[in-house]
Amino acid sequence: MSENHVSVKDIYEVTPQETHKPWVGLTDKEINYVMETSKNLEGGLVLPYGYARDIEAKLKEKNNG
């Protein structure tokens, strides 16, 4: 092998392992807040796609800071 050869094992050994924080879900209170403040309502009904995006944003905020 050439002196420039790098194996997967070499990379793995020098790459720090990610530390994983536990996943944090939303409380019922947070879900209700998202529902109440969502702009994805039409005639008092929730628009599923938009509401899903609102929930996704809240989860990202809570889990990624």
Burial level of 26, CB count in 10 A (0-12/13-18/19+)?
Answer: middle
Q: Are 61 and 33 in contact (CB under 8 A)?
A: no
Distance CA 40, CA 42 (A): 7
Using 50, 70 and 90 to split pLDDT, how confident is the model at 56? very high
Q: What is the pTM of this model?
A: 0.61
Question: Which whole number is the average pLDDT over 49-62?
Answer: 92
Residues listed for the chain:
65
Question: Which whole number is the average pLDDT over 53-59?
Answer: 93
CA 54 distance to own-chain centroid? 12
For the chain, domain boundaries: 20-64
| pLDDT of 15 strictly over 60 | no
